[in-house]
Structure 1
């Protein structure tokens, strides 16, 4: 019931946030259509975000269970850990942002493929927003983890702030088809989101600001760094999926990135409403159950939720396959976005929605394994997923175009689901429970 209540809150916030995201996509489609500006925006966003998103993804999975444990630690220990966490994340974020800006010309040369000179020029402008966003993404990740450790999910609502700022910037600059509305909206949106989440996380932590400290005195660091190091391997592998798709799409020619991007963002709307709510609500609850030594209960909870989500994903595929052209037409077909663009995006979207049952089903099992600290196995599965995706992209993209890229992703999540179900069913939780009780 705790997972269900948390999922309902997350779903409510996601619905509001995704509505803002959908309005932003409609405005972008109306203003830019399938053009070089959208190609540049999709390419820059994916390639520039991959490193900070990778770091946040790896650390949040291992950080939330640690933060849950520190809720029961003496007040001074939690304050010390949060201060040091803020300090090192700030340092890493600054380095990441500077490197992103300095290395961007080389990224364009290596990964730009057949992007036009105009698209490359737009991307060079957009990096002025996405380089600072690297730092802000890391700060947002820490604040989000602090909130989720208290089973508070308002951060989900604030994820829509960058999209909302882009929408506002487009509306107040009629006729401007340059990259500036996208650039300024992105930068201002990330900044507002970071500051707002910092204030909310302080309130959740009983007034702890987390003034940056650059020491490593907290007793939580050895466990966290060991787990994060292992998890980072798998997260890096999975984080390359986005850039891998962009590179494959860039080789297909102009506007392939934009077509793939529209379909991917529509897919993210469906995934967010359908699965992210349960996944985000589950980790702090499962971590709490695991910390009490009740591993059998945690596994049974996760398996039941996984079966439920798998069935929900199958229903979602059936509905979305039929409605894909209608969804794309209603949201995008206006202004510079033509009927031919609707056909192309809907075709790509259909192949992408095949991943829904497996993505929905595996998400809760990922949270279960994270709560069990089984990071090595999670990393191994992630590497296997990436290897399959890389091979299938090379085979399917030349054969099917952007549709092949989406089909490769669906096959990747099928493998992931099979692996997680197998290791969950074969794991001896009785040994884990005995170990935890002995440790306690």
Structure 2
């Protein structure tokens, strides 16, 4: 036993320090995300206790998902571009950093405002798409929620900028502060005496995002020491290097994010209660994704970017491949553990008040099928960070298109056979296609390098 421990210590001591940086970052992010997801689970318990599977929950989930899907699409693309850019910016003069960050904050504010305006203007038409499938009560509550929750899109864009500044410095406290909206909603529900009123949900969510943005801004300025002000221009050299590719990638991310309203459309066709069922299931899956995939993704991107800036792309690729297959195995292990425990976990978290035994069985069944996504999602996220650190956003744009096509086709086919289960299996198929896509690109890159080096030797 002692010899085995000594052997493991010796093996760990031979690991490259960058592996330890990733592991340390992943542990911190996992801890923060776990705390955040616990807060989210407590919020869901409170929602289940107050509302069960009811039109209030349907209206809230529909409104929140459709308000956030547009800014969320661009947040993903922006963060993938920002972290490598900000890692490289650390060596530049403070004035250059302040200029770029000031321009970036203005872009975030303007774009968030545009997103909020587009959603507000389009909302009557959007609700019209669901008219035949949702009750009049649900649609009316959604209209009321929309007016209160519309600033969330603006706040999400500013939060993205502050979080990227922290992540570029390998500070992961932003993962913990993502729990603030859930905590505020939970507090509103605990003190609420308004019965089935949607007010605690919509006001708690909006105020929570506002607090998150304010807190992150304070921490970002304290961490990088850069004081910024808004600049109404795009004169920083960082824009000219990236804007064409970033624009294309963010457009493709927008296409991929259409999977969210696409799911809402298909699920709404199954009648009242279906959106709430998918939401409760999604909360548990989001917990697992957050603790695993989000942790490794946020931990690897700044490290891979640092390695790339040091001129060692081959070492970054080797590390990414090892971590990707490690996370594939972790996903399989998590699936094997959670599958038999799903009914017990759902009962423990949600079965209170208006949430019944039948609701527990329905949600647990959906959770089990949702687990098929985890191994592929964990693995592909590591490779995504590698390509992002290399600045290969065209590759990621292609991935977004492939994933959306697979998701849309799988939704159309599987929901006819399997109902709501088809939605989550379509998500698993999309994640698997992303993993296969990344591996094929890496294989092609290796082939090109081999042919190129062979040609050089012959010449």
User: Under a length normalisation based on structure 2, what TM-score does the superposition of the two structures give?
Assistant: 0.92
Which among 422, 429, 444 is matched to residue 404 of structure 1?
Answer: 422
Supply the distance in 2 between the matched residues of 1:385 and 1:112 (Cα, whole angstroms): 29
Contact between 1:296 and 1:430, CA under 8 Å: does it hold in 2? no
Q: Select 1:69's aligned residue among 82, 85, 88.
A: 88
Alignment match, 2:120: 101
Q: Who is 2:289 aligned against?
A: 271
User: Does residue 306 in structure 1 map to residue 320 in structure 2?
Assistant: no
Cα contact 2:149–2:203 (8 A) shared by 1: no
Is 2:288 aligned against 1:288? Answer: no
CA distance in 2, matches of 1:113, 1:399: 22
Residues 325-354 of structure 1, C-alpha deviations (whole Å, 9 max, x = no match): 111111001100000001111111111110
1:340 alignment partner, one of 343, 358, 362? 358
Establish whether residue 49 from structure 1 lines up as the match of residue 68 from structure 2. yes
User: 1:425 offset after TM fit, Å?
Assistant: 3.1
Q: Structure 1 CA distance, aligned partners of 2:448 and 2:83?
A: 24
Report whether the alignment pairs 1:425 with 2:443: yes
Aligned to 1:437: none
Cα distance in structure 2, aligned partners of 1:304 and 1:43: 39
1:261 alignment counterpart: 279
Alignment partner of 1:252: what SS?
A: coil
The answer to whether residue 173 in structure 2 is matched with residue 157 in structure 1 is no
Q: Measure how far apart 1:67 and its partner are.
A: 0.8
Q: Distance in 2 between matches of 1:44 and 1:109?
A: 13
1:409/1:377 CA distance change after superposition, 3 Å: same
1:178 paired residue number: 197
CA contact 2:53–2:276 (8 Å) conserved in 1: yes
Q: How is 1:224-243 mapped onto 2 (pairs within 5 angstroms)?
A: 224-243=242-261
Whether 2:264 is the aligned partner of 1:246: answer yes
For 2:292 and 2:305, the matched residues in 1 are separated by 22
The 1-side partners of 2:86 and 2:125 are apart by 38
Conserved? CA contact 2:351–2:357, under 8 Å: yes
Separation in structure 2 between the aligned mates of residue 122 and residue 175 of structure 1, nearest angstrom: 15
Contact residue 311 and residue 357 of structure 1 kept, 8 A:
yes
Instruction: Tell me the equivalent position of 1:202.
Output: 221
Q: Matched residue of 1:170: which SS?
A: helix
Tell me which of 219, 228, 231 is aligned to 1:213. 231
Q: Answer with 168-177 or 254-263: which moved more.
A: 168-177
Paired with 2:33 and 2:117, the residues of 1 have a C-alpha distance of: 32
Quote the RMSD (CA, aligned, Å).
1.6
Distance 1:431 1:75, change over 3 A: farther
Q: What secondary structure, in the 3-state scheme, does the structure 2 residue paired with 1:73 have?
A: coil
Measured after TM superposition, the shift of residue 429 of structure 1 is: 9.8
Equivalents in 1 of 2:281, 2:124: separation in Å? 27
Q: Which residue of 2 aligns with 1:19?
A: 38
Residues 219-250 of structure 1: per-residue CA shift (max 9 Å, x gap): 11112312311211321122111111101001
Q: Distance in 2 between matches of 1:431 and 1:76?
A: 39
What secondary structure, in the 3-state scheme, does the structure 1 residue paired with 2:269 have?
helix
In the alignment, the residues of structure 1 paired with residue 104 and residue 132 of structure 2 have an alpha-carbon distance, to the nearest angstrom, of: 38
Write the distance in 1 (CA, Å) between the matches of 2:158 and 2:331: 33
Question: Contact (CA 8 Å) 1:68, 1:149: kept in 2 or not?
Answer: yes
The offset of 1:175, in angstroms, is: 5.0
1:136 aligns with 2:136: no
Question: 1:294, CA displacement in angstroms?
Answer: 0.3
Shift of 1:111: 4.6
Q: How does 1:68-87 map to 2 (within 5 A)?
A: 68-87=87-106
User: Match of 1:117?
Assistant: 136
- Counterpart CA distance in 1 for 2:282 and 2:151 is 24
1: CA distance, partners of 2:56 / 2:370 = 24
- SS of corresponding position for 1:151: coil
- Partner Cα separation in structure 1 for residue 240 and residue 440 of structure 2: 30
1:88 pairs with 2:107: yes
Equivalent residues of 2:245, 2:393 under 8 A apart:
yes
Q: Match for residue 29 of structure 1?
A: 48
**Partner residue of 1:395 out of 413, 429, 451:** 413
- Tell me the distance in 2 between the aligned counterparts of 1:299 and 1:429: 14
- Change in Cα spacing, 1:313 to 1:146, as seen in structure 2 (3 Å) is same
Cα displacement string for residues 188-208 of structure 1 (whole angstroms, at most 9, x for unaligned residues): 1000001001101111121x2
Please give the secondary structure, in 1, of the residue aligned with 2:237.
coil
List gaps (5 residues or longer) in structure 1: 435-440
Q: Secondary structure at the match of 1:178?
A: coil
**TM-score, structure 1 normalization:** 0.95
